[in-house]
Amino acid sequence: MRHLLSTADLDRATAIHILDTAAQMAATQSREIKKLPTLRGRTVINLFFEDSTRTRISFETAAKRLSADVINFSAKGSSVSKGESLKDTALTLQAMGADAVVVRHQASGAPHTLAHAGWVDGAVINAGDGTHQHPTQALLDAYTIRRHLAVAGGAGGGGTLDPSGRDLAGLKVAIVGDVLHSRVARSNVLLLRTLGADVTLVAPPTLIPVGVEAWPCRVSYHLDDVLRAEQPDAIMMLRVQRERMGAGGSGGGAFFPNPLEYTRGFGLDARRLALLPEHAIVMHPGPMNRGLEISADAADSRRAVIVEQVANGVAVRMAVLYLLLAGDAAEPKLVDERVGIA
């Protein structure tokens, strides 16, 4: 694994390895001394073209906990401005000697271009590109689901049994919201499927992309039906943008008549919460629109793991940084070391 650009590039073994490594990292984060010397001397650059304090801080924390040096570069570029291009920025960073570049960009494919254009030498980690992929979010989501649910039988309260080495086979996950514009949805559908889970997308028809027929998941326009019939073990609510919901401004291009109708049809409220099985967990990548896609009741319920997702994000990103940076750069493959080399 030389870069992390898309969950499509992760096979089952690699995905499980990342989750297991994240578990070890998480263990270190409950100590008093949370810092490890592992990536001492390595430089990680956060290259964020899109505003995102949460994700950037999460990556920064992860890098610093592994003793790497962190440089934050925030370049707010509009898609039309050619002032400082992606290429020029990358070449500047290369001159600073980056071992890894964590990039968030509004253009789908920008991290792929960065990784393959030859402008930078280091590892490229996609922190979210346009509507394409957000692989570390999907990994922390899978980690969270596994921690709570992946015990024998597939359902059961969490945390006491060690889920190392396990996948998500037999689990059912519902992803609800603006799938069309969601990189989180795309990353999750692929990764959850790779780990053996069953995924159902729930959204109004206007927010389901043409071409979804090729995705390894089910699609439904009716949230209540999915809750009753499938009894998902985890429900993931996607953030919905008010402007897209016909709340003024988008004219005929709104995807929905108004936010209220959206919430009525697709919002997770107390009534829908009660339809879920006892053990089910409620997830959200954040930031939440309380009252739009998720009610305050649901967000604050004991089944919501939204805050824990954030903590898990640091452990998962520590794992990704470790796996991409710690080993021999010329031979960047994962090795399950078994031999007693003396």
Partner 1 sequence: MTGSTRYVLRGVAPLGGEPTDLLLADGIIAAIGTDAVRAALDTDVSDRARGMAHAGSDTEAVEIDGAGLVALPGLVDLHTHLREPGREDAETVASGTRAAALGGFTAVHAMANTTPVADTAGVVEQVWRLGQDAGWVDVHPVGAVSVALAGEHLAELGAMAASAARVRVFSDDGKCIADPVLMRRALEYVKAFDGVIAQHAQEPRLTADAQMHEGIVSAELGLTGWPAVAEEAIIARDVLLAEHVGSRLHVCHLSTAGSVDLVRWAKARGIDVTAEVTPHHLLLTDELARGYDPVYKVNPPLRTAADVEAVRAGLADGTIDIVATDHAPHTREDKDCEWAAAAAGMTGLETALSVVQQTMVDTGRLTWADVARVMSSAPAAIGRITGGDRPQGRPITVGEPANLTLVDPAARWTVVPEVQATASANSPFRGRELPGRVVATFLRGRATVLAGQAVPQADAGSPGAAGSAYPTTARNA
Partner 2 sequence: MSSGPVLPPASSPAERWAAPSASTGSRIVLGAPEIGRALTRIAHEILERNRGGAELVLLGIPTRGLPLAHRLADRLAAVEPGLDAAAIVGSLDVTMYRDDLHRHPTRTIGATRLPPSGIDGLVVVLVDDVLYSGRTIRAALDAISDLGRPRAVQLAALVDRGHRELPIRPDYVGKNLPTSHGERVWVLLEETDGEDAVLIETAPIKGESR
Residues that bind partner 2 (CB under 8 A): 17, 20-21, 24-25, 27-28, 31, 33, 35-38, 66, 164, 322-323, 326-329, 331-342
Instruction: Give the span between the Cα atoms of 303 and 317, in whole angstroms.
Output: 24
Torsional sign, CA 178, 286, 269, 228 = positive
Minimum CB–partner distance for residue 340 and partner 2 (Å): 5
- Strand 234-237's sheet: what is its strand order? 218-220, 198-202, 172-176, 234-237, 281-283
Enter the tokens of residue 241: 């943008």
Residue 211's binding partner among partner 2, partner 1, none (Cβ under 5 to 8 angstroms by kind) is partner 1
Enumerate residues 6+ apart whose C-beta is below 8 A from 18: 10, 139, 316, 319, 320, 323
Q: What is the DSSP letter of 121?
A: -
Minimum CB–partner distance for residue 140 and partner 1 (Å): 20
Residue 133's binding partner among partner 1, partner 2, none (Cβ under 5 to 8 angstroms by kind) is partner 1
Position among 209, 265, 327, 332 found at the interface with partner 1 (CB under 8 A): 209
Single-letter amino acid code for the residue at 183: R
Q: Nearer to partner 2 by C-beta: 209 or 332?
A: 332
Q: Which stretch binds partner 1 (CB under 8 A): 65-73, 208-216, 226-234, 304-312?
A: 208-216
Enter the tokens of residue 270: 């107390």
Instruction: Give the span between the Cα atoms of 237 and 285, in whole angstroms.
Output: 8
Counting contacts by CB under 8 A, is residue 211 touching partner 1? Answer: yes
Counting contacts by CB under 8 A, is residue 82 touching partner 1? Answer: yes
Single-letter amino acid code for the residue at 227: L
Compose the 107-146 pattern: x for residues touching partner 1 by CB under 8 A, - for all others.
Answer: xxxx-xx--xx-----------xxxxx-------------
Residues that bind partner 1 (CB under 8 A): 8, 79-80, 82, 85-87, 105-110, 112-113, 116-117, 129-133, 183, 186, 209-215, 252-253
